[in-house]
Amino acid sequence: MSVSILQRQSTAMRRIHPSPSVAIVGATGAVGAELIGCLERRNFPLSRLKLLASPRSAGRTLTFQGRDVVIDGLTPMSFDGVDVALFAAGSGVSKDHARRAAADGTIVIDNSSAFRMDDDVPLVVPEVNADTLGTHHNLIANPNCTAAISVMALWPLYRENKIRRVIAATYQAASGAGAAAMEELRASTEAHLTGRAYEPRVLPHPYAFNIFSHNDTVDLESGENGEEIKAARELRKLMCAPDLRVGITCVRVPVFRAHTIAMTVEFERPLSPDQAREILGAAPGVDIVDDRNANRFPMPRDATGRDNVLVGRFRADKSDPTGHSLALMVAGDQLLKGAALNAVQIAEALMK
Residues marked active site are found at 145, 259
Whole-angstrom CA distances from 216 to 204, 252, 352 are 10, 10, 37
- The DSSP H or E segment spanning 87 is strand 84-87
**CA-wise closest residue to 231 among 306, 174, 176:** 176
- The DSSP annotation for 136-201 comes to -SSEEEPPPHHHHHHHHHHHHHHHHS-EEEEEEEEEE-GGGG-HHHHHHHHHHHHHHHTT-----S
**317: nearest Cα among 164, 214, 172, 147:** 164
What is the C-alpha to C-alpha distance for residues 163 and 156, in angstroms, rounded to an integer? 11
Sequence-ordered list of residues with C-beta below 8 angstroms from that of 153, at least 6 positions apart, any chain: 263, 280, 286, 309, 311, 328, 330
Q: Are 113 and 230 in contact (CB under 8 A)?
A: yes
Cβ–Cβ under 8 Å, residues 242 and 164: no
Question: Which positions ≥6 away from 323 have C-beta within 8 Å?
Answer: 270, 271, 272, 316
Question: Which residue(s) pair with 250 in the sheet?
Answer: 170
Cα of first residue to Cα of last residue in the chain, in angstroms, is 29
